Amino acid sequence: MTAIDLPSLTRFADLLGPKGFTTDPDAMAPWLKDWRGRYEGAAAALLSPADADQVAAVVRLAGALGIALVPQGGNTSMVGGATPPATGNAMILSLRRMNAIRSIAAEDGVVVAEAGVILAHLHDAVLEHGMRFPLTLGGKGSATVGGLVSTNAGGTQVLRFGTMRALTLGIEAVLPDGSRFDGLSPLKKDNRGYDLKHLLIGAEGTLGIITAASLKLVPAILDRAVGWIGVETPHQALALLRFMEARAADAQEGFEIVPADSLALVLKHIPGTRAPLQGTHPWHVLVEMVRSDARAEASGAVLEQILGDALTAGLCRDATIAASEAQAEAFWKLRDSLSEAERASGPAVQHDISVPVSGMPDFMISAARDVEARFVGTRASAFGHLGDGNVHFHVRAPEDAALDWAKTAGKAVSAYVHDLVVAAGGSISAEHGIGQMKLEENARLSDPARLMALSAIKAAFDPKGLMNPGKLVLPGGLAQESLATRAPAP
Amino acid sequence: MTAIDLPSLTRFADLLGPKGFTTDPDAMAPWLKDWRGRYEGAAAALLSPADADQVAAVVRLAGALGIALVPQGGNTSMVGGATPPATGNAMILSLRRMNAIRSIAAEDGVVVAEAGVILAHLHDAVLEHGMRFPLTLGGKGSATVGGLVSTNAGGTQVLRFGTMRALTLGIEAVLPDGSRFDGLSPLKKDNRGYDLKHLLIGAEGTLGIITAASLKLVPAILDRAVGWIGVETPHQALALLRFMEARAADAQEGFEIVPADSLALVLKHIPGTRAPLQGTHPWHVLVEMVRSDARAEASGAVLEQILGDALTAGLCRDATIAASEAQAEAFWKLRDSLSEAERASGPAVQHDISVPVSGMPDFMISAARDVEARFVGTRASAFGHLGDGNVHFHVRAPEDAALDWAKTAGKAVSAYVHDLVVAAGGSISAEHGIGQMKLEENARLSDPARLMALSAIKAAFDPKGLMNPGKLVLPGGLAQESLATRAPAP
């Protein structure tokens, strides 16, 4: 990679003007580090183009000069996906200035938003039109549309509406050669060859820069009901989910599983929290039902009926429904505080993993048992999106562990967990992506066909390796070779 | 491409045995021509591997010998996508022998079917488990799972369940280097880099051979109700669709629009057909409602209520509901006979196109008007999947036209229709794919970014151009170049 000289910097400065270009260390500092403080890099400049034309011009100029670009939205990656490399030879390409909502067509259920639109702002803007963008997650106050699409983000409402992939009707992007891909038109059916939209969704900015997206809207919510349920096992929780889906699949939005020990950590470490149910239960489930059709029954009545029937049918131990919106928020706070409570209780390693839904209860039990047997003193627990086959599988360090346990002994634990996931036909990254954090594990655990295909695609789109280098695909020999040149002899 | 000598043929024969290899002209004849008789090619052999291991071995051997492979399922492509080139230097790789249903998990809603399973057999097999695979189309007695996935097939029930892309939970494939991609595990969330499943869906066998797929199942149907409705305009039809969706979106499976003149052709040319409604109407709509939950109201009652309300609200001119299953079939026969009736009435050119749903009524009116004004004596009409934004836009030749009009003067008509589609932000192939038929039009009408990306992907996966050559991507200079090597100067 070329060192970046002053004449080169000047060309970017001239292209973007003072609002779009800075090398000021103070202005750049917040964007050189990931929000959890795990990764830190350096950058020669922070570029903030005003529109897609400027993005294309930046990409062309960077290509000609051999300068790497690290696209960045809200900088809320869980895997170091938006942090520049340490070399300092890259530039950050912030999309945050491109924050226009270009159009909202409520009747068609489509919003066109630029890459820099913050998720919470998107929620507010479409609500004014009686509509809702149904994906939400913890970082909604910072996460941007471009980042959400580029990482195929998930969150807590995936059960009903799917991940960003299912909600992205079209995209506009700049490819690594600076050409513009205009795929914003929200076509329900389009079979004109390889699906570039699906290729760029989840590509983490390594194949191009998403500049805008057409996103699906649904009617706004009229009311919601949130319940807290005690269950015996993850198996019972899954049976309960199937029961509820058969009764009201189109109203069920949240189904989160929480083990007793994780709940205990929340109650211990997070001020102002209390258990929703009397007595103790081995596992807990948070459910949310939503109503958006005025002719339908209120969510509270529906949930009460279903949970009553579930109790009668022996599908849960106990259940309660939040009596107010404040109580509903309190239930969700228990769920949303799980990671924070765990951090307060000592070192741990986290794994964002998925297996087929039907296999998840067995996996949760057997993987926790195996990990605790193999790494004596550790405590494993899994919580999260049972209905999506996606849990956050966390392993806490033994009580006497050193503070840097996660970075030392914890590595072996993670490798072991990942091996179990692969053996169960699962994914070592269900929703957080690969970024830099999971690069080596993904390379270790993917079959050769997958790895070669990833490298071949990357090399075809970005042979100079200038788009978000060091993320998603390992650089090196494979990157410049095609699949067929590596074909084994027959 | 190498000429294929006897020693090479012998290697394939030895690999596959007598059941898996033939050069017999009579055995090969049916597979050298597309079912509509528009394309005819030649092949050095017909290969019929018994399992995925044999497919991988065939791909490796063909790669080493430089022999092109043309994958084939039911040979029901609408665009010549499964017909071998005329050179005779390719082999047909039939997946029809791989027709096992590996597993049916009714509770999980997943079936794993090999590439050669015929769609109608799949329907029957899962019905025995109380389940339904919801995609269906005219060629269901021949079309195979591998072909359906490779072409991202659509059909008449896309409105509720989507195309094959939405129904394909996982795939198993052999990549052009002979490596095996095992992506059958039906994960709801998986962010391990570029989505290879979505890349191979709709790739028409040009990036590898799909050998099996995990497909989504839904509960079997308890009853259905089919209605026939007279409407004033496509705009009124769309308003009716929105009205019905707001009332019973999760029960509505079919919504097909038929213009008066197309219906008249059916009544004239197809024996035993009669109009469902008294009187004449400018446009007609066929709707189908379905019930699969025993607790829900019967479809007939739901549809009667909704259509009654629609009449009262002035959203249609007249409506009737089939009184029996036989009558329901008769309604569908009117819809399914549109192409046949049109063929009986003289030469025509067909276009499988899509635009955004909200823009379709305007497009149907204005495009027909423009075509008829520009090509005097032609008659344009559009029918089909209004709710998907996908119609089949057909233009019939002037009455005095020569029999080969479609291949001569009709070409200019098609180019003009495609121009109108692109101007409306649409796709010139909504559900049939590109194959060889639309290769040049797709190249003419795609923006440079899309074309370069398609070529780059093809070259990265299949640099020798051995996988289904001459389909989907134009061969030539672009194919060996990457995106970035073609970057314009900044």
For residue A399, the domain's CATH number is: 3.30.70.2740
Residue A71 and residue A25 in contact, taking contact as beta carbons nearer than 8 Å:
no
Cβ within 8 Å, pair B453-A175 = yes
Q: Per-residue confidence at A478, pLDDT binned at 50, 70, 90?
A: very low
Give the closest-approach CA distance of B161 to chain A in angstroms. 12
CA distances from A21 to A91, A99, B279 (A): 10, 17, 69
Residues in chain B closer than 8 A to A131 (CB atoms): none
Q: Would A466 be classed as within a structural domain? A: no
Give the end of a domain, one of B94, B109, B136.
B94
Q: Would B460 be classed as within a structural domain? A: no
Residue B428 and residue B445 in contact, taking contact as beta carbons nearer than 8 Å:
yes
Query: Which candidate from B201, B204, B358 shows the least CB-CB separation from A105?
Result: B358
Cβ within 8 Å, pair B195-A199 = yes
Cβ within 8 Å, pair B198-A193 = no
CA distances from B6 to B9, B10, B41, B92 (A): 5, 6, 20, 17
Who wins on pLDDT, B483 or B55? B55
Range of the domain at A296: 223-338
Query: Which candidate from A165, A246, A462 shows the least CB-CB separation from B484?
Result: A462
Give the closest-approach CA distance of A176 to chain B in angstroms. 6
Question: Choosing among A189, A428, A431, A445, which should be mutated to test the B contact, i.e. which has the most B CBs within 10 A?
Answer: A189
Tokens of B311: 């009449």
Instruction: Look at residues B479, B457, B486 and name the one whose alpha carbon lies nearest to residue A177.
Output: B486
A114 has pLDDT over 90 = yes
Burial label for A446, CB within 10 Å (0-12, 13-18, 19+), is: middle
Domain count, chain B: 4
Residues A214 and A118 in one domain: yes
Q: Would A428 be classed as within a structural domain? A: yes
Task: Please give the ipTM for the structure prediction.
Answer: 0.94
Section A319-328 average pLDDT: 97
Give the closest-approach CA distance of B446 to chain A in angstroms. 9
**What percent of chain B has a predicted confidence (pLDDT) above 90?**
90
B489 has pLDDT over 60 = no
Please report the pLDDT score of residue A484 as a whole number: 40
Residue A286 and residue A334 in contact, taking contact as beta carbons nearer than 8 Å:
yes
Cβ within 8 Å, pair B354-A190 = yes
Cβ within 8 Å, pair B487-A250 = no
Cβ within 8 Å, pair B429-A192 = yes
Burial label for A419, CB within 10 Å (0-12, 13-18, 19+), is: middle
Residues in chain A closer than 8 A to B68 (CB atoms): none
CATH code of the domain in which A140 resides: 3.30.465.10
Residues in chain A closer than 8 A to B428 (CB atoms): 192
Tokens of A405: 């346990």
Give the closest-approach CA distance of B271 to chain A in angstroms. 33
Please report the pLDDT score of residue A61 as a whole number: 98
Cβ within 8 Å, pair A484-B472 = no
Residue A63 and residue A135 in contact, taking contact as beta carbons nearer than 8 Å:
no
Residues in chain A closer than 8 A to B64 (CB atoms): 487, 489-490
Give the closest-approach CA distance of A206 to chain B in angstroms. 10
CATH code of the domain in which A56 resides: 3.30.43.10
Section A192-199 average pLDDT: 97
**pLDDT tens digits for B198-235?**
999 999 999 999 999 999 999 999 999 999 999 999 99
Residues B400 and B416 in one domain: yes
Cβ within 8 Å, pair A202-B195 = yes
Residues A271 and A308 in one domain: yes
Long-range pairs for A372-379: beta carbons < 8 A, 24 or more residues apart: A374/A416, A375/A409, A375/A412, A375/A413, A375/A416, A377/A401, A378/A413, A379/A261
Residues A331 and A229 in one domain: yes
Nearest residue on chain B to A472, alpha-carbon basis: B193
Cβ-Cβ pairs closer than 8 A, A with B, add up to 307
Q: Would A473 be classed as within a structural domain? A: no
Please report the pLDDT score of residue A424 as a whole number: 96
**pLDDT tens digits for B266-296?**
999 999 999 999 999 999 999 999 998 888 8
- Residue-by-residue DSSP string for B345-356: T--EEEEEEE--
**pLDDT tens digits for B136-160?**
998 999 999 999 999 999 988 899 9
Give the end of a domain, one of A338, A367, A401.
A338
Residue B156 and residue B38 in contact, taking contact as beta carbons nearer than 8 Å:
no
* Mean pLDDT computed over every residue of chain B: 93
Please report the pLDDT score of residue A157 as a whole number: 86
Query: Which candidate from A65, A356, A484 shows the least CB-CB separation from B185?
Result: A356
Residues A239 and A330 in one domain: yes
Nearest residue on chain B to A207, alpha-carbon basis: B194
Residues A33 and A129 in one domain: no
Q: Would B424 be classed as within a structural domain? A: yes
Please report the pLDDT score of residue A477 as a whole number: 38
For residues B344-373, b (16+ Cβ closer than 10 Å) or e, as one string? ebbbbbbbbbbbbbbbbbebbeebbeebee
Going by the DSSP 8-state scheme, the letter that residue B103 receives in this structure is E
Going by the DSSP 8-state scheme, the letter that residue B151 receives in this structure is T
Residues B150 and B235 in one domain: no
**pLDDT tens digits for A49-97?**
999 999 999 999 999 999 999 999 999 999 999 999 999 999 999 999 9
**pLDDT tens digits for A122-178?**
999 999 999 999 999 989 999 999 999 999 999 888 999 999 999 999 999 999 999
CA dist., res. B429 & res. B418, Å (int): 10
